Amino acid sequence: MTAVGADQRQQLAYVATQAADARLNVEIETEGMTLNIGPQHPATHGTLRLVARLDGEQVVEAEPIMGYMHRGYEKLTEVRTYPQVTTLINRIDWLGSFANEVPFILAAEKLMEVEAPPRAQWIRTALFELSRIANITLFLGDMAVQLGALTPVFMAFRDREFVLNQIEAVTGGRFHPNFDRIGGLKDDLPKGWINDTKQAMEKIRDFCDEFEELVLGNEIFQARSRGIGIVPAAVGLSYGLSGANIRASGVDWDLRRDGHEALAYNHLDWRVWTHPEGDSFARYWVRLQETREATHMVEQLLDGLPSGPIMAKVPRIIKVPAGEAYAATENPLGKMGYYIVSKGDLVPFRVKIRSASFSNISITPWLLKGVYVPDIITILASLYFILGDIDR
Amino acid sequence: MSPAAVVSGLLAVEVPYWASSTIKLGVVALIVPTAALVLGYVFLLKMMSFMQSRLGPMEAGPYGTLQLLADGLKFIQKEDIFPEKADRTVFALAPLVVLISTFLIYVVIPTGPDAVVAQLDVGIFYALAVSSLSVVGILMAGWASANKYALMGGLRAAGQLIAYELPLVLAVMGVVIQAGTLDLQKIVTAQATGEIFGWGGIGNPFILTQFAGFFIFLVAVQAELTQPPFDMPVAESEIVGGYQVEYTGFRFLFFFMGEFGTAFAFAALAVVLFLGGWALPWGDIEHWAFNIVGPVIMLVKVLAVAALIFWFRFTYPRLREDQLQRLAWKVLIPLSLANIVVTGIFKVVL
């Protein structure tokens, strides 16, 4: 707890200096400016609105305002049967859509007390990691374009295509697979898919190598991201940051390894990447390493794929017994959890969605104090949120 | 590129003053849109697309060559919108100020022994002076738009001016010392007839001795053109286009033409100062044929330099404004001052 105390002292000292600045501004009669960044702004990934109070180009305070894209998914699930819900929740984090389905299905399986057969779990995990790659490759290009480099985002789109093709080959959907079922998966893998996927993983590794030089190795990228938006581990934890955002602050915590869900991660040989610095550069670096790690994980999953059925015995019409269950997984954006309350109907009584971006974005008022306007963009890009994941 | 001079050279006909003035005016008025079209098509549409593994426009005209014309036509058809709170006169004039500063640079750029609109004794001084006028237009646009993003863009442009204008001028100083003149035409002659330690095989293009100057000049030009890595005044991902944010239609087109016209002009200046301009080191550079060959040689060299300028643009991320200031004052200005000192010493010793 001492660390928290120190950070709070730091923050209080910071607020005090800001107050002194404000007094000075009154003395020399400069006037602040309120800048509305968004909801229509290229750097907000959609419709996040940021009200920033500026002193010149320096941010005095900034507040994110969300809800412009609220679609009421938690409420909508209450009038959908369990198999219908996955169609909706695909659209929460639309870049890694398969990953959204998994924790919901896992929670429902807990309630029904069924467990998917091993083959289904392994394929599930492989698709999970593929959606992670599909999600994070875009981040790797996008943050570069937020910092003004035009080219990397096109390379990201180009190489992300290989992964999307593989997801499409299995599920039939590039963005909204809707493939996970309670008790297993909809279909088995198509013929020749394993080899194609391994080739795609090679390409993604090349992509990672390329980006390590092109973006991470670029002096200007480093000048713009190193030391910008530092999140101390204790502060990050107190704001509920998860995923690569908290691992970039040196917290060695990954639900794939530390969680209790029945996915196939225990059978794999992999490591959790962390970075001690906690700045924007560290967040980019961690995500890049995780993408490369994910390609190795997919290969291991495909090599060790057990044979057997892909569907457990479940009734044709799914009625979930009354009760409550929670499942959380390490999604591309961070920890994603579903808390399901069932009254034994065809539909859930209540579903609470814990999405990663909502918590990740909550640190912005703390983080944006005193930075320059260009650094707002760097910090927002490096925190990496998806609007659908904030607003649900 | 003055056809008046070409015509009189070829036919030995005396062209009256009014006619030559009209022709010169026409040439300069035509060259800015042409330069913008060439650079826009070759680099912005095609080179950038190939770097980003896409094809770029392919439909309008063969290989998409007419795309920019189609775009220009579209811009002209658009409604001329003024924001409600805008200062209308200033808002309307700002793109013209930017464009005029571009036109004025072309006046002194020589493309042949006689093919120059106006041969000024203080040519390079004049060119650098009028080129910085464009910041006035940008400030006007930023202020008159009555938009916070535009205002920030305008102020950033003004702040940037302080950072790059000094290195730009100091980088040119080395060339001026070596050539002993401010006249662009004489700088070209000095390079074509110069010798490297008594060997005149390739003349003496100043890039060989002024490589530091050339580098600083290119860096400063990136800032002058508000291109990445120094495109903070427009910064699409931060202040969504900066001073251009409220402009539509043909006024936006003026900004676009100004941007690419200035890129062409600065590439031409770099060619004149460092790469021997329109001349080749062989043959009699006073020969009248250079009035026709000169512009072609010039164009080839300009496209090479422009390729370099745009390569930076499509590759680098954006610096922050304070980082540009730091780069300018702590690196570029000391470097260019050292370059001047070294050049001066060599000038005196040799």
pLDDT tens for B240-252 read 888 888 888 888 8
CB–CB contact A42 B240 (8 Å): yes
Relative orientation angle of helices B67-77 and B249-274, to the nearest 10 degrees:
140
In chain A, the residue whose alpha carbon lies closest to the alpha carbon of B48 is A151
The answer, yes or no, to whether residue B11 has pLDDT greater than 70, is no
A127 and A9 together in one domain: no
Q: Find residue B167's DSSP bridge partners.
A: none
Greatest CA span in chain A, whole angstroms? 77
Its domain, for residue A1, covers: 1-27
pLDDT at res. A25: 56
Could you give the CA distance from residue B259 to residue B263 in angstroms, rounded to a whole number?
Answer: 6
CA distance A333 to A192: 30
Highest mean pLDDT among A237-251, B3-17, B203-217: A237-251
Nearest CA in chain A to B228: A148
- HEC string of chain B? CCHHHHHHHHHCCCCCHHHHHHHHHHHHHHHHHHHHHHHHHHHHHHHHHHHCCCCCCCCCCHHHCCHHHHHHHHHHHCCCCCCCCCCHHHHHHHHHHHHHHHHHHHCCCCCCCCCCCCCCCCHHHHHHHHHCCHHHHHHHHHHHCCCHHHHHHHHHHHHHHHHHHHHHHHHHHHHHHHHCCCCHHHHHHHHHHCCECCECECECCCCCCCHHHHHHHHHHHHHHCCCCCCCCCCCHHHHCCHHHCCCCHHHHHHHHHHHHHHHHHHHHHHHHHHCCCCCCCCCCCCCCCHHHHHHHHHHHHHHHHHHHHHHHHHHCCCCCHHHHHHHHHHHHHHHHHHHHHHHHHHHHHC
Same-domain status, A290 and A148: yes
| A32, part of any domain | no
How does B129-163 read in b/e, with b if 16+ C-beta sit within 10 Å? ebbebbbbbbbbbbbbbebebbbbbbbbbebbbeb
- Sheet containing A49-55, strands listed edge to edge, beginning at the edge strand earlier in sequence: A33-37, A49-55, A58-65
- CB contacts of B232 in chain A (<8 Å) are 374
* Residues B138/B230, Cβ–Cβ less than 8 Å: no
Chain B residues closer than 8 Å to A158 by CB: 53
Q: Which uninterrupted H or E stretch holds A41?
A: none
Question: In this complex, is the C-beta atom of A89 within 8 Å of any C-beta atom belonging to chain B?
Answer: no
Q: Is the domain of A136 the same as that of A11?
A: no
**Same domain flag for A249 and A330:** yes
Least CB-CB distance to A372: which of B51, B314, B320? B320
By C-alpha distance, which of B112, B273, B266 is closest to B178? B273
Q: How far apart are CA A328 and CA B263, in angstroms?
A: 54
The residue type of A55 is D
Residue of B nearest to A221 (CA): B317
Residue spans per domain, chain B: 79-349
Q: State the pairing for strand pair A334-342/A350-354.
A: antiparallel
Would you list which residues of chain B are within 8 Å, Cβ to Cβ, of chain A? 48, 51-54, 148-149, 152, 228-229, 231-232, 235-240, 314-323
**Token pair for B48:** 């950038």
Instruction: Kindly state whether residue A65 falls inside one of the protein's structural domains.
Output: no
pLDDT-derived band of residue A21, with 50, 70 and 90 as boundaries? Answer: low
Is A35 in the B-facing interface, judged by CB distances under 8 Å? yes
CB contact under 8 A, A149 and B148: no
List of E strands, A269-387:
323-331, 334-342, 350-354
Tell me how close the Cα of A26 comes to any Cα of chain B, in angstroms. 21
CATH number reported for the structural domain that contains residue A312 in this entry: 1.10.645.10
Question: Angle at the Cα of A329 (from A323 to A335), degrees rounded to 5?
Answer: 110
Res. B4: pLDDT tops 70:
no
- Checking if the pLDDT of A259 tops 80, the result is no
Put simply, whether A53 touches B (Cβ < 8 Å) is no
Please indicate, yes or no, whether residues A93 and A17 belong to a single structural domain of this protein.
Answer: no
In chain A, % helix, strand, coil (3-state, to 5) comes to: 55, 15, 35
User: Does the pLDDT value for residue B6 go beyond 60?
Assistant: no
> How do strand A33-37 and strand A49-55 relate by DSSP bridges?
antiparallel
> Measuring CA to CA, which residue among A367, A331, A280, A283 is closest to residue A64?
A367
Q: Quick check: B317 and A144 CB within 8 A?
A: yes
The angle formed by the CA atoms of residues B252, B316 and B98, to the nearest 5 degrees, is 25
Mutation target vs A (from B236, B320, B330; most A CBs, 10 A cutoff): B320
Token pair of A39 as six digits: 């909801």
Please give the single-letter amino acid code of residue A108: A
Residue A1: pLDDT band (50, 70, 90) is very low
Assess contact for A49 and A43: CB atoms under 8 A: no
Choose the mutation target among A50, A53, A154, A216 for the interface with B, i.e. most B CBs under 10 Å: A154
When pLDDT is averaged across residues B258-264 and rounded to a whole number, the result is 87
Contact present, B317 and B228 (Cβ < 8 Å): yes
Q: Do B316 and A377 touch (CB under 8 A)?
A: no
Residue of B nearest to A216 (CA): B317
Name the pLDDT band for B83 (thresholds 50, 70, 90): confident
Query: Interface pTM (ipTM) of the complex?
Result: 0.77
Chain A positions touching B228 (Cβ under 8 A) are 148-150
Q: What is the pLDDT of residues B88-141, one digit of tens each?
A: 889 989 999 988 888 888 888 888 777 777 778 888 889 888 888 888 888 888
- Residue A115 and residue A312: Cα distance in Å, rounded? 7
What the block records as the tokens of A274 is 């962390």
Residues A120, A5 share a domain: no
How many domains in chain A? 2
Task: Please tell me whether residue A362 adopts helix, strand or coil conformation.
Answer: coil
Matching residue, tokens 């928290």: A4
In the DSSP assignment, the letter for residue A135 is: H
**Residue B8 pLDDT exceeds 60:** no
Same domain, A144 and A9: no
Average pLDDT over residues A82-93: 87
Cis peptide bond prior to B281, omega within 30° of 0: no
Q: Is the pLDDT of residue A158 over 50?
A: yes
Closest partner residue to A148 (CB to CB) among B53, B149, B235 is: B235
For residue A43, what is the nearest residue in chain B, using CA coordinates? B237
Residue B155's pLDDT is: 86
C-beta atoms of B48 and A150 within 8 A: yes
* A21 and A138 belong to one structural domain: no
Q: How far is CA B65 from the centre of its chain?
A: 23
Are the C-beta atoms of residues A152 and A74 closer than 8 Å to each other?
Answer: no
The reply to whether A23 and A111 lie within a common domain is: no
How far apart are the CA of B271 and the nearest CA of chain A, in angstroms? 27
| Residue whose structure tokens are 């200031």 | B325
Residue A19 sits in the same domain as residue A140: no
Q: Which residues of chain A does B51 touch, with a Cβ-Cβ cutoff of 8 Å? A: 151
CA distance A87 to A141: 28
Q: For residues A2 and A102, state if they share a domain.
A: no
User: Closest residue of B to A158, CA-based?
Assistant: B53
> Minimum mean pLDDT among A34-38, A70-74, A142-146: which range?
A34-38
Angstrom distances, CA of residue A109 to CA of A113, A332, B107: 6, 22, 78
Region A246-266: mean pLDDT is 85
Task: Indicate the pTM of the whole model.
Answer: 0.82
Q: Whole-angstrom Cα distance, residue A147 to residue B318?
A: 6
Structural tokens at position A118: 């091993």
Cβ neighbours for A209, distance < 8 A, ≥ 6 positions apart: none
Query: B316 to chain A: which residues are within 8 Å by CB?
Result: 148-149, 218, 220
- Say if residue A331 is in the same domain as residue A216: yes
A206 touches chain B (CB under 8 A): no
Whole-number Å distance between alpha carbons of B95 and B32: 14
Residues 351-380 of A with CB under 8 A from B: 372-377
Chain mean pLDDT for chain B: 83
Taking only the tens place, the pLDDT of each residue in A97-142 is 888 888 999 998 888 888 888 889 899 899 999 999 999 998 888 8
Question: Per residue in B65-75, pLDDT tens?
Answer: 888 888 888 88
CA distance A283 to chain B (A): 18
For position B27, what pLDDT does the model report?
78
pLDDT tens digit string along A269-298? 888 889 888 889 999 999 999 999 999 999
